[in-house]
Structure 1
Amino acid sequence: MSLLNVGARALLANQVALQTAGNNIANVNTPGYSRQTVVLQTVQGQFTGGGYIGQGVDVQTILRNQSELLTRQSAAAGSVQSGDIVRAERLRQLQDVFSGGATGLGAAINDMMNAFSDVVSAPTDITARTLVLTRIDETASRMRAAAERVDEIEYTVNEQLQSSITAINSLAGQIAAVNEQIARAKGNGQTPNDLLDHRDQLIREVNQYVQTTQIPADDGTVGLFVGGSQPLVLGTTASQVSVDDASQFPGSGQLKLFFNRPGAPAIEVDENMLGGGSVSGLLRFNNTDLSESRNLLGRMAMAIGMTMNEQHNLGLTLDGQMGKDLFSLPTSMPGLTNGAGVGTVTFSDPTKFAASDYEIRFTTGTAGQVVRLSDGKATAFTDAANLATLDIDGLTFNLTTPGAPGERMLFQPFSSAGANINALVYSPRDLAAANPINAAMGTTNGGTLQLAGLKATDTLVAPPIPGGVTLTFTAGPPTTYAVNGSTTPPSGTAGIPYTSGSTITIDGWEIKLQGTPKTGDTVRVGNALDPQYGDNYTRNAGNATSLMNLRDVKMFDESTLADGYAGLMAQVGTRTQSATFAAELSTTIAANLERDRTAVSGVNLDEEAAKLIQYQQAYQASAKMLQIAQSVFDTLIQGLTR
């Protein structure tokens, strides 16, 4: 009987081994499946006077081949890869918005500025004036189109975030359910391999959306934690997550991940604490990259619009009217508060604008600091009155109601400027191409004085009265001049030094003279609408020249107006290139770790085929052993019956 028992045990053990190898082969392409191996053990031998006689073999367990370390490392690397890839993809979409070429925003800006050259050449040419206004309208249109495309990207990001949140909540519920099954199965003393594989696969899938930390419990369940401490799954209980406006400043466009546990207030998690995962990548893109692109576009719209509006307001139209704004722009933007503070930000110097949002942080009393969020630079102030006197990056912050200590206010001066800019002048006669002032050399001048430039630089303090402002020169040395008819410097001021080619500033206008005067030489500057000049102003293009020359004004981080868009493209392109490199690197790391994991857990078909032959032969030998045992038993019975 012992031989029969040994053969039966061997037959059953090898049958299990064959079945396990077949199961491995069947699941070779099953995601998350870990190769299984039969662990055999010798049955305790029977003691006899001649020693212990073997009793055969039993199946001890079915071993799940896997490395806990490699499994966790692979899941974490896959999570980082997912976050880097989704952010790089979105940045490439953003880069397409700010592309170059003839259809890009940069080409529209350059065409607009270059169109003024035709007006300079022919101030009364209605066609040239119409072309300028068409280019202005096209520039505003392309700025709005770029802002709309940014909004479309934001919409798709929000939709993808909501889809990811739905997937996370579903996977968390499934993991909690599998945890419960594993805890129950653990009671029989054996490891539920397939359930463990299923749970690990679910964990890998949830890590594609948000990176988790796994902590095993004594009952076989695994707790999943996000952001270091927030429990997504705890035993057999799953939390619900959501994405919504940041609680600090609702309506700012900033999104955060929230944990919603029954009976407890929602907990907000910053995206910088999330590590990897597509949700983390999308939140970083929305809160940083998308916000920066809006600020870059808005800063460009505000700077170009304000600069051109200011200059156009200093010129004369064909009908002798002062110019009006070329672009519609906001004059102030309200701040968002998390307390009692109320205030606005106004725009003062477009050449100093920084593409950033700003926070006012109140410290003690009504004192605090203004923080530029793009780089953290802080400017302190003592109270609201002191703050109103500060020029911070070309901006002025005005507080109607200061906040209490510890409160904050968020200002986004440029976020919506690109979406709301519009052209305001459509009639070619309303283009203010002429200077509001005229200049003439004295008819009896004997020197070599020549007019090199004349333009209005500010609203005229007092438009020159009939007869105008007269500059009378004394040859010297040193060469000087006296001013009559002016307000600043006061009329009658004499002995003012003269240098050829230098700029002379009087009453909100500038004149530049070249050459050497003789004593008694004069230059008269008067109101361009003075009857003594007739309609000469209609043939003047001084203000059109000033508008065209704005393209060389530095206003975008030391870049000129004409080169500002190239700088915007470079900033977005650099960020995209960096994100693409990070995605390629994390993909390589994730692939290497997954390869290491599958080297332990994966099924090798050649190896399994060899095991099939081995177990098949062992099974056949076991069957032969039973056959021999039966033959011996039959022979014994026959002998006893004689």
Structure 2
Amino acid sequence: MSLLNVGSRALLANQVALQTTGNNIANVNTPGYSRQSVVVQTMPGQFTGGGYIGKGVDVQTILRNQSDLLTRQATAAAAVDAGNSARSQSLLQLQDVFSGGTSGLGTAINSMMNALSDVVSSPTDMTARNVALTSMDETGKRMVAASAQLDDIASSVNEQLKGDVNTINQLAQNIASVNDQIARAKGNGQPPNDLLDQRDQLVRNLNKYIQTTQVTADDGTLSVFVAGSQPLVLGNKAGSVSIGDPKDFGAASGQKSLLFQQPGASSMQELSGTALGGGEVAGLLSFQNSDLQEGYQLLNRMATAISLSLNAQNELGLTLDGSMGKALFADVAPAQPTAASTNTSAASMGVTFSDPTKLSANSYLVSFSSATTGTITTQPGGQPENFGGPGQPTLAGYFSSHGLQSTLSGPPNAGDQFLVDPMKGAAAKMQAQQLSPTQLAAASPVNAQMGAANAGTLQLASLNATGQPATTGFVPPPSPVLPATTGGGVTLTFASGPPATFTVAGNATPLMDVSATPPVPLAGPPYTYTAGQAITIDGWAITLAGAPKAGDTVTVGNALDPQYGDGYQRNTGNATALMNLRDAKMFDGATLSDGFASAMAQVGTRTQSAQYAQELSSSLAANLEGDRTAVSGVNLDEEAARLIQYQQAYQASAKMIQVAQNIFDTLITSMGH
């Protein structure tokens, strides 16, 4: 009987081994399946006077071949790769908005500015004027189209985020359900391998969307945490996540936040984007809150600076019918600061544009530590800068250096915050306003005449209205007092020096040095004359070349005075000033014509960096997944060899039973005789 029992146990053990091997082969392509193997042990021997006699073999357990360390490492690496991949793919879409080529926004801007050169060459040519205005209309349309593309990307990212959080919530519920099944199954004393595989696969799937950490409890359940320490799954209970606007500034911030609700809790809390780590949601939030916002800021700054600069200059010129020019593009009204929902005072903040050449492609978070001090953090991703303290700029001084004029209504309390994003939506509103060629203000509103008795070599280099300083703006030179038809104007009278000097008569405001910030009165009279250096008077600037003799004069008059006739129609002073804006340093040192190329470079740098990070993380994730599957995966060659091994063992066990049966039959037959 002992030999029969040994054979029976061996037969059953090898049958289990064959079944396990067959199960491995059947699940070779099953995602998340871990190779299983039979663990057998020797049955305790039976003591006899001749020693211990073996009683065969027994199946101890079915072992699940896997490494917790490799599984966790591969899961974490896959989460980082998913985040980098999502951000990289979104940045490629953003890069398409800031692309070059003839259909790009940069080409439209350069064509617009270059078209003004034909107006300068022939101010009365209607075709040249039409081309210039049509180019402006095309620039506005492309700016609006680019803004709409950014809106489409933002909408797509938002929908993708909503889909991702729904998937996260479903996976969390599934993990909680499997946890409950594992806890129940653990009571039988053997590991539920298939359930453990299912849970690990769910965790891997979850980490594609949000990076997690896991802790195994004594009852076999797995607790899953997000953002470092927030419990998404505890035992058989699951929390939930959703996408919403940030608490402080809501939709005005243009950003999105991941909101988290713990298992059994009734309130939501906002998770920090930097704490999320990897996962597709983290990558998309990083793109939405940083990369896309930079794209909006770059585009809106271009629209704002171009509109303000060209509008201001055209409004300083004369049209063909002798009227002062009007805005070329729709008026750019700054978006006013948004107070945080947590503010405890009734203070409000306002901003206006003061200098389009100083605007930064940022929004600003103003945080007050007292009524007059605090920090300003550029968004996105800037470092806090202090204001209001000793040796620090005032709030107004800081914004003045960034092309803005700020005001405060009422004292803020410590802890109050304001989000300043004055250029928000500017690109979407950029629309050409002047479509009639006569409305292009090509002529300067001022005219210069050299004194008839001049003996020096003075020559007019340039004359145009500037509107500077902004506190006084443009003031036309005085016209002749009727009934006189000549005279009037502002007269500069020179002394030969050295150094050469001049005095001014007829001006309405003091001469200012506009190169200083803020402008200061020019030292004089008499004022020092430097050839080639602009002289700013009453919001217009004259540049002279050559050397004067004592008594030489230059008179600057109103171009509409009868003494100048219709000469203003052939004057191109303001068209030249408009064209010269092409080379004005306007975008962090880049000229207006190079501004789009600079924006392309910024977006391109971000995209290249994201692609490099994605390639690196993808390689690391693939290597770690390879290490994991080397332990857990099914090798068909190996399983085929084991199948033959266990088959032979099974046949040998069956033979052992047959032999035992024959012996038993012989014994019974012998005893019968």
TM-score by length of 2: 0.92
Instruction: Note closer, same or farther for the CA distance 1:122–1:633 as it changes in structure 2 (3 Å cut).
Output: same
**Cα distance between partner residues in 1 of 2:278 and 2:495:** 76
Q: Is the 8 A contact 1:329 1:417 kept in 2?
A: no
Q: Is the 8 A contact 2:477 2:490 kept in 1?
A: no
Aligned residues between the structures: 639
Shift of 1:550: 0.6
1:461-480 matched pairs, under 5 angstroms = 461-466=475-480, 467=487, 468-480=489-501
- Kindly indicate whether residue 502 of structure 2 is the aligned counterpart of residue 481 of structure 1: yes
**Cα distance between partner residues in 2 of 1:543 and 1:313:** 10
Q: Is the 8 A contact 1:445 1:522 kept in 2?
A: yes
**Cα distance between partner residues in 2 of 1:413 and 1:496:** 40
Shift of 1:521: 2.7
Q: Is the 8 A contact 2:492 2:553 kept in 1?
A: yes
Q: Is the 8 A contact 1:232 1:240 kept in 2?
A: yes
- Report the residue type matching 1:465 in the other structure: S
1:317-332 matched pairs, under 5 angstroms = 317-332=319-334
- Report the residue type matching 1:433 in the other structure: A
**Cα distance between partner residues in 2 of 1:602 and 1:455:** 79
Q: Which residue of 1 aligns with 2:132?
A: 132
- Kindly indicate whether residue 474 of structure 2 is the aligned counterpart of residue 460 of structure 1: yes
Instruction: Between 390-399 and 133-142, report the one with greater CA deviation.
Output: 390-399
- Kindly indicate whether residue 655 of structure 2 is the aligned counterpart of residue 627 of structure 1: no
**Cα distance between partner residues in 2 of 1:517 and 1:590:** 77
**Cα distance between partner residues in 1 of 2:29 and 2:49:** 54
**Cα distance between partner residues in 2 of 1:477 and 1:411:** 52
Q: Which residue of 1 aligns with 2:570?
A: 539
Q: Which residue of 2 aligns with 1:343?
A: 349
**Cα distance between partner residues in 2 of 1:508 and 1:477:** 28
Shift of 1:370: 2.9
Question: 438, 441, 445: which one pairs with 1:429?
Answer: 438
After superposition, what is the alpha-carbon deviation per residue over 1:414-465, rounded to whole angstroms, capped at 9, x for unaligned? 2311112211111111111100000112233333221111111113234332
Q: Which residue of 1 aligns with 2:483?
A: none
Q: Counterpart of 1:332 in 2: which secondary structure? A: coil
Instruction: Note closer, same or farther for the CA distance 1:419–1:640 as it changes in structure 2 (3 Å cut).
Output: same
Shift of 1:488: 4.0
Shift of 1:638: 1.1
Shift of 1:263: 4.1
- Report the residue type matching 1:245 in the other structure: D
Q: Which residue of 2 aligns with 1:376?
A: 383
- Report the residue type matching 2:222 in the other structure: V
Q: Is the 8 A contact 1:210 1:274 kept in 2?
A: yes
**Cα distance between partner residues in 2 of 1:357 and 1:285:** 16
Q: Which residue of 2 aligns with 1:273?
A: 275
Q: Counterpart of 1:328 in 2: which secondary structure? A: coil
**Cα distance between partner residues in 2 of 1:63 and 1:348:** 74
Q: Is the 8 A contact 1:11 1:623 kept in 2?
A: yes
- Report the residue type matching 2:607 in the other structure: T
Instruction: Between 45-54 and 451-460, report the one with greater CA deviation.
Output: 451-460
Q: Which residue of 1 aligns with 2:111?
A: 111
**Cα distance between partner residues in 2 of 1:292 and 1:386:** 26
Unpaired segments ≥5 residues, structure 2 = 468-472, 481-486, 512-523
**Cα distance between partner residues in 2 of 1:454 and 1:483:** 16
- Kindly indicate whether residue 429 of structure 2 is the aligned counterpart of residue 420 of structure 1: yes
**Cα distance between partner residues in 2 of 1:352 and 1:334:** 18
After superposition, what is the alpha-carbon deviation per residue over 1:504-547, rounded to whole angstroms, capped at 9, x for unaligned? 22222111111233333322210000000001000001000000
- Kindly indicate whether residue 289 of structure 2 is the aligned counterpart of residue 287 of structure 1: yes
1:352-431 matched pairs, under 5 angstroms = 352-365=358-371, 367-373=373-379, 374-381=381-388, 387-388=395-396, 391-431=400-440
Instruction: Note closer, same or farther for the CA distance 1:137–1:402 as it changes in structure 2 (3 Å cut).
Output: farther
Identity, % of aligned pairs? 60
**Cα distance between partner residues in 2 of 1:518 and 1:87:** 68
Q: Which residue of 2 aligns with 1:258?
A: 259
Instruction: Between 321-330 and 602-611, report the one with greater CA deviation.
Output: 321-330
**Cα distance between partner residues in 2 of 1:478 and 1:242:** 74
Q: Is the 8 A contact 2:335 2:424 kept in 1?
A: no
**Cα distance between partner residues in 2 of 1:272 and 1:98:** 27
Q: Which residue of 1 aligns with 2:335?
A: 333
Shift of 1:180: 0.4
Q: Which residue of 2 aligns with 1:444?
A: 453
Instruction: Note closer, same or farther for the CA distance 1:500–1:364 as it changes in structure 2 (3 Å cut).
Output: closer
- Report the residue type matching 2:446 in the other structure: I
Instruction: Between 399-408 and 295-304, report the one with greater CA deviation.
Output: 399-408
Q: Counterpart of 2:31 in 1: which secondary structure? A: coil
Q: Counterpart of 1:89 in 2: which secondary structure? A: helix
Q: Counterpart of 1:525 in 2: which secondary structure? A: strand
Shift of 1:379: 4.2
After superposition, what is the alpha-carbon deviation per residue over 1:120-156, rounded to whole angstroms, capped at 9, x for unaligned? 0111111111111111111111111111000000001
Shift of 1:386: 6.0
Instruction: Note closer, same or farther for the CA distance 1:116–1:200 as it changes in structure 2 (3 Å cut).
Output: same
Shift of 1:405: 1.3
Q: Counterpart of 1:526 in 2: which secondary structure? A: strand
Instruction: Between 524-533 and 326-335, report the one with greater CA deviation.
Output: 326-335
- Report the residue type matching 1:336 in the other structure: T
Q: Is the 8 A contact 1:464 1:525 kept in 2?
A: no
Q: Is the 8 A contact 1:332 1:344 kept in 2?
A: no
Q: Counterpart of 1:593 in 2: which secondary structure? A: helix
Instruction: Between 520-529 and 136-145, report the one with greater CA deviation.
Output: 520-529
Q: Counterpart of 1:371 in 2: which secondary structure? A: strand
- Report the residue type matching 2:385 in the other structure: A
Q: Which residue of 1 aligns with 2:89?
A: 89
Q: Which residue of 2 aligns with 1:607?
A: 638
Q: Counterpart of 2:493 in 1: which secondary structure? A: strand
Instruction: Between 621-630 and 259-268, report the one with greater CA deviation.
Output: 259-268
Instruction: Note closer, same or farther for the CA distance 1:483–1:401 as it changes in structure 2 (3 Å cut).
Output: closer
After superposition, what is the alpha-carbon deviation per residue over 1:195-223, rounded to whole angstroms, capped at 9, x for unaligned? 00000000000000000110000000000
Write out the 4+ residue segments of structure 1 that deviate beyond 6 Å after TM superposition: none
Instruction: Note closer, same or farther for the CA distance 1:41–1:213 as it changes in structure 2 (3 Å cut).
Output: same
